[in-house]
Amino acid sequence: MRLGLYSITYLGMWYRGPALTVEELIGRAKEYGYDGIEIDGKRPHGSPLDLTKRRCQELRLKADDAGIDIYAVAANNDFSNPVPEQRESQLIYVRDLIRATADLGVKTLRVFAAWPGLTMTAEGARYTKARQVWRDAHLEIPPEQTWALCRDGLVEASRWAGDAGVTLALQNHAPVTNNPADMLRMIRDVDSPHVKACLDAPLAAKQGVTSMQDAAREVAGLQVLTHFGGEYQRAADGSILGLVRNPDETLTPEDYYLDFALGMQEIGYEGYTGYELCHPIPPVDGKPVGLDFADLNARLAAEYMRGVLAEATKAAVAGSSA
């Protein structure tokens, strides 16, 4: 796998401070040893409202000059809304983002089946209110109807993607696709060569997956994108450890990332794993975290994952020579 930096880390939502520009993001990726970047499909980074053809060409040249690949764009779409006007606005958003993805010279657009969104508060971004709104909108809607709305939206979007030479990477992200099995079922139901898988290990670990290698085998031939996340710290011996802050999390990255990397090697996946800092962050020493916190974690995450990938390669070589 190659190492990527997902721009949600620097969108100015999870820390106190300004968002980086995409140009500054390219600089961070270069400095920290990432191979490429994934651009989030909302302001200020990658909204199709701003990604004109000329802007896409500018970003492509900037990335090429830095030796950094733009390997994916990420949509924040919700095809599940039972209100037609809301759902159709989401289709327009994804259609235009497919256009922008192609204008960037990028082949992969990460998509959701459904996505509640988030809200900004004085303390930063929060999921709670948006999730409440999403639940309220679906209270009287049968789950099979919600599934059908998402499937139909992806079917329509897949046609635009095919015309533009873009692949939609469906993530195992709740709601609706609540685990890897749901993700694969949706991909089968859409039945398009332009819809593939974005199996993420941290999500899968929270969704009850106990063997990442088994999960990897299930997406063989479909996997086109993946992400890793979390917070990191350097131990006294110089090693880097993944932190667990959420009480719902029972696993640390050490519990599953090597297993996942070995699984990805087994199925021949050679794409990107992109780091994302994408969750509300508790105060540190009683103070809201700042941009320096995002910088530290992006730097440590790159070093950590390079070590995991090197260990996976070493294990694979040892296994083949045994």
Q: pLDDT per residue over 277-322, tens digit each?
A: 999 998 888 889 999 999 999 999 999 999 999 999 999 888 776 6
Q: Quick count: other Cβ atoms within 10 Å of Cβ 313?
A: 14
Distance CA 88, CA 80 (A): 10
User: Is the predicted pLDDT of residue 29 greater than 70, yes or no?
Assistant: yes
| Percent of the chain whose pLDDT exceeds 70 | 97
Q: What single DSSP character describes residue 138? A: T
pLDDT of residue 317: 83
Which of 84, 77, 117, 125 shows the shortest CA–CA distance to 101? 77
Segment among 85-94, 95-104, 136-145, 312-321 with least mean pLDDT: 312-321
Report residue 251's pLDDT band, with 50, 70 and 90 as the boundaries.
low
Residue 319 CA to residue 322 CA, distance in Å, equals: 5
Report residue 214 as tokens.
């088994």
Res 16 pLDDT > 80? yes
Q: In the structure, what pLDDT confidence band is assigned to residue 123 with cuts at 50, 70 and 90?
A: confident
* Helices first, then strands: H and E counts in the chain: 10, 12
Helical segments of the chain, H only:
22-32, 53-66, 84-103, 128-137, 143-164, 180-190, 201-206, 212-218, 257-266, 291-321
So what's the pLDDT on residue 36? 98
Check which CATH number belongs to the domain holding 71 and give it: 3.20.20.150
Under the banding of pLDDT at 50, 70 and 90, the label for residue 32 is very high
Predicted confidence (pLDDT) at residue 271 exceeds the cutoff of 90: yes
**Domain count across the chain:** 1
Specify the 3-state DSSP secondary structure of 30.
helix
Which conformational region is residue 176 in: left (phi greater than 0), alpha (psi within -120 to 50 degrees), or beta?
Answer: left
Which segments of 36-157 are extended strands (E)? 36-40, 69-74, 108-111, 119-121, 124-126
Residues 161-203 have pLDDT tens digits of: 999 999 999 999 999 999 999 999 999 999 999 999 999 999 9
Domain range for 285 is 2-321
Q: What pLDDT shows up at residue 121?
A: 86
Q: What is the pLDDT of residue 67?
A: 98
Give the closest residue to 170 by CA, choosing from 141, 181, 136.
Answer: 181
Confidence of residue 122 (pLDDT cuts 50, 70, 90): confident
Tell me the pTM. Answer: 0.96
pLDDT reported for residue 247: 55
- pLDDT value of residue 244: 66
Amino acid identity of residue 86, one-letter, is Q
Residue 84 confidence class, pLDDT cut points 50, 70, 90: very high
Question: 248 versus 275: which is more confidently predicted?
Answer: 275
Q: For 19, which DSSP code?
A: P
Residue-averaged pLDDT of the chain: 95
